[in-house]
Amino acid sequence: MSVWRDNLSHTNIHCGRLLYLPMKSSSTRTKPLLQTIIQYLDTLLLSKRLIITGVTALTSSGYTTAASTELMEELLVKATYDSRTIDVSEALIISPDTAKLLTRAPGANVNGNGPLTGIPQYRGMYGSRIATSMDGRQLAPAGPNWMDPPLSYAAAGQLESLELYRGIVPVSVAQESIGGAVAVHTFRGDYGDSEQFQLSGKIVASAQSVNQGSHLNAAMYGSNENHRIKIGAMNESGDDADFPGGELTPSEYERQRYDFGYGFRSGSHSLQLDYSYNDTGDTGTAALPMDIDYITGKLLSLDYNFAPQSDFSVEASIYGSDLRHGMTNYHLRKAPTPSRWRQNIADSDNIGFKLSTTFKDDDGSWTTGIDGFSEQHNSDIDNPNNAMFYVVNFNEAEREVFGVFIERQQDWSSLSGNFGLRYNHVAMDAGEVDGSPAMMMPPAQMLRDNFNNADRSQTDDNVDVTAKLDYSISNNTSLYAGIAQKNRSPSYQERYLWMPLQATAGLADGYTYTGNITLKPEVSRQLETGLDFNNGTFTLAPRIFYSRVDDYIQGTPSKVIPAIRLVRMMNTANGTNNPDPLQFNNVDAELYGFDMDWRWEMADRLTLSGIVNYVRGKRRDISDDLYRIAPPNTSVRLDYSANNGSAGVETVFYADQNDVSETNGEEKTGDYALLNISATWQATSNLHLAAGVDNVFDEKYEQHLGGYNRAANPDISKGSRLPGTGSNLFVRAEWSF
């Protein structure tokens, strides 16, 4: 593959310039520099005894401590015309799935495949179509079925904010953002204003009744004017969740996370090193064919900033991750017969960089830059009861993106605009595959040989163009319009899935798929318009959008005869009735709709707010709807705030979804409404308490984005919609110093 992946492993950042130091290409997946640092940090950070000892020593030392006395709000959403920033540093967070916070922003929803496996959906697009970054770094999940989507590595206890770019995403934000972009920001602590070190910290604990879940997060920060250090640890777990009429089995989960960060600044220079270790244990994913046995993730990043003057700055970063994932169909759910036990061991190694400069002038600013991201995946399936059975599902499946971009922010007296141009070169390849079915079944042998003999090396050259205008027609009203062309090249699953399997990045439709090496990139032409109104008492921000997507990648009835024959042979051998497979192919599609958020300050202490979402996704080449599109939905919340606390009541309504995909065998769902209540209390300057009830009336309902049951469950038949969780009482306490 391209040379920059190997060269990037040995990089120096000096005086605002990114210098590549040549080195020989290496076949090892974890590069030498990253491997050395990761191993050192593993030794330092993964010893729980060392963390506990260190925190105890710091809290009992003679250093000055800094306590926060600000009243904690339940949730704060900061709005601009092109983004929504959800402030979660002190938010009332109970769910272990960070993705669920996105429902607080207009246009956003979540495809739920498990308690930790929420996949963001925005205006009908989801998965790899939505760019997700954590403190500026990308991540490609290890699981071929996205049991570990990017947001699953963003543990809520360590977050500061979750930013959703509304509508058209600026080209400087992400490489591929055809469906939107989400940026996660963790709290790293603040620098001090003197040479004396100050210490601060926070411990958050919560519990909930619906699954006997618990969460404990502790973080310690130390800083002066030149240095800042962060040490954090989190533990959370839960049992199978209840719903009216039974239990969601399996839906248990367990996860630990450890974080270390160090920042240094001097004059115009600043440097930040961050390392995280994520350890997910037994976790159910009833909407998928397997459950999580383990997921381990090591994430490392190094950021540099140089700002010698107010109108010029340079930002550079290098980052990487080492992810390992094991899953089974027998250890959490009812096991099939021993001959059908399956275990999948997968891994993903990622490395990326970004270098950008910003120049400001009297009329706005220029931002230019280059960035790159490389991912490599392996996935091997076996049966622990049969040493002869194996499938090399993905073998060194590689995807590399190298991009350059230029962006202009232009400000006039009453008009502002953002204009961008980006070029991405995408290179993909994969190694040869094999499997014991190919040695016994002629259709599987043909699939293997056709794949191995094909030209698997593919390249795409994509150009994104964006233009957005915001016009102020008065002090409280502005109009917005945007137009763009966005591209996305296929994922490695869509190109290199050689045998009919459900390794489909979390589609969870129950179909087996094969890939298509010759897929074209998706090309979306997007239009959106709306207004922003804010008179100090009432805020309103509606948007109308339309996206015409050429070469949209969709599963269609397979015409690959060996794949069809193999599925039918397996049905005969196992006594199953799986439908004929689908194949990833290019089709034509369109998505359009409307979303809005609003807020009314009814009185000094009383606020009414809400969100309205509507999206429709359709095929343009045939008469069919796109799969797994959120139904129309709205929420309304009434909040009352007092000097030392607050209380709120919220109603959430989802309409029925009758516009479903016949191609994917999608079922319709009915409408439902939920009532949620919560309250907070600032007990002391250091202690904050909160409690509430979700789904107060224990409503039985089915989430359209919740998937279908794949596990043997006495309370839910296989293939039926998974129900939403029942009434949930939760409590939360936060102590800060």
Give the whole-angstrom CA distance, residue 98 versus residue 117: 9
Give the whole-angstrom CA distance, residue 249 versus residue 109: 23
Q: Taking residues 489-512, report their average pLDDT.
A: 97
Does position 311 have pLDDT exceeding 50, yes or no?
yes
Locate the DSSP E strands across 494-644: 513-514, 522-534, 538-557, 582-601, 606-619, 633-642
DSSP state of 486: E
Give the whole-angstrom CA distance, residue 625 versus residue 668: 12
According to the model, what pLDDT value does residue 730 have? 95
Largest CA distance in the chain: 75
Dig out the tokens for 286 from the structure: 């009833």
Helix (H, G, I), strand (E, B) or coil at 71: coil
Q: Which helix (H) or strand (E) holds 316?
A: strand 312-328
CA 142 from centroid of its chain's CA atoms: 13
According to DSSP, the β-strands at 582-601 and 513-514 are parallel
pLDDT-based confidence at 78, cuts 50/70/90?
A: low
- What is the per-residue DSSP string for 670-695? --EEEEEEEEEEE-SSSEEEEEEEES
Q: How many residues does the chain have?
A: 737
According to the model, what pLDDT value does residue 156 have? 76
pLDDT-based confidence at 158, cuts 50/70/90?
A: confident
Helix (H, G, I), strand (E, B) or coil at 241: strand
According to the model, what pLDDT value does residue 69 have? 33
Helices and strands, counts by H and E, the chain = 7, 36
Does position 138 have pLDDT exceeding 60, yes or no?
yes
Give the whole-angstrom CA distance, residue 273 versus residue 480: 38
According to the model, what pLDDT value does residue 724 have? 96
Dig out the tokens for 366 from the structure: 């220029």
pLDDT-based confidence at 86, cuts 50/70/90?
A: confident
According to the model, what pLDDT value does residue 160 have? 87
pLDDT-based confidence at 39, cuts 50/70/90?
A: low
Answer whether the bond into residue 250 is a cis peptide, omega within 30°.
yes
Helix (H, G, I), strand (E, B) or coil at 439: helix
Q: Which residues face 605 on adjacent strands?
A: none
Does position 51 have pLDDT exceeding 60, yes or no?
no
Q: Taking residues 164-184, report their average pLDDT.
A: 96
Helix (H, G, I), strand (E, B) or coil at 277: strand
Of 335 and 26, the structure prediction assigns the larger pLDDT to 335
Q: Taking residues 298-307, report their average pLDDT.
A: 97
According to the model, what pLDDT value does residue 80 have? 72
Q: What are the structural domains, with CATH classification, of the chain?
A: 4-736 (2.40.170.20)
Dig out the tokens for 266 from the structure: 């001097």
Does position 312 have pLDDT exceeding 90, yes or no?
yes
Q: Taking residues 465-488, report their average pLDDT.
A: 97
According to the model, what pLDDT value does residue 93 have? 63
For residue range 394-415, list pLDDT tens digits in order.
Answer: 999 999 999 999 999 999 999 9
- Measured between its terminal Cα atoms, the distance across the chain in Å is 51
Give the whole-angstrom CA distance, residue 169 versus residue 123: 13
pTM, entire model: 0.90
Query: Could you tell me which residues come within 8 angstroms of residue 656 by beta carbon, excluding any fewer than 6 positions away?
Result: 631, 668, 669, 670, 671
pLDDT-based confidence at 623, cuts 50/70/90?
A: very high
Q: Which residues face 129 on adjacent strands?
A: none
Q: Taking residues 214-220, report their average pLDDT.
A: 95
According to the model, what pLDDT value does residue 14 have? 30
Does position 4 have pLDDT exceeding 70, yes or no?
no
Dig out the tokens for 346 from the structure: 């997968």
According to the model, what pLDDT value does residue 92 have? 61
Long-range contacts at 24-29 (CB < 8 A, ≥ 24 apart): 29/347, 29/349, 29/376
Give the whole-angstrom CA distance, residue 607 versus residue 649: 11
Give the whole-angstrom CA distance, residue 88 versus residue 96: 13
Q: What value does the CA radius of gyration of the chain take, rounded to a whole number of Å?
A: 25
- What is the per-residue DSSP string for 417-437? EEEEEEEEEEEEE-----BTH
Dig out the tokens for 90 from the structure: 């002190």
For residue range 575-602, list pLDDT tens digits in order.
Answer: 889 999 999 999 999 999 999 999 999 9
Which amino acid, 381? Answer: I
DSSP state of 43: H
pLDDT-based confidence at 112, cuts 50/70/90?
A: very high
Give the whole-angstrom CA distance, residue 90 versus residue 86: 11
**Which of 36, 184, 167 has its CA nearest to residue 98?**
184
Give the range among 41-50, 260-269, 272-281, 432-441 with minimum mean pLDDT.
Answer: 41-50
Neighbouring C-beta atoms of residue 465, cutoff 10 Å: 15
- Tell me the average pLDDT of the chain: 89
Does position 38 have pLDDT exceeding 50, yes or no?
no
**Matching residue, tokens 């016949």:** 662
67 contacts 200 by C-beta, under 8 angstroms: yes
According to the model, what pLDDT value does residue 94 have? 76
431 contacts 483 by C-beta, under 8 angstroms: no
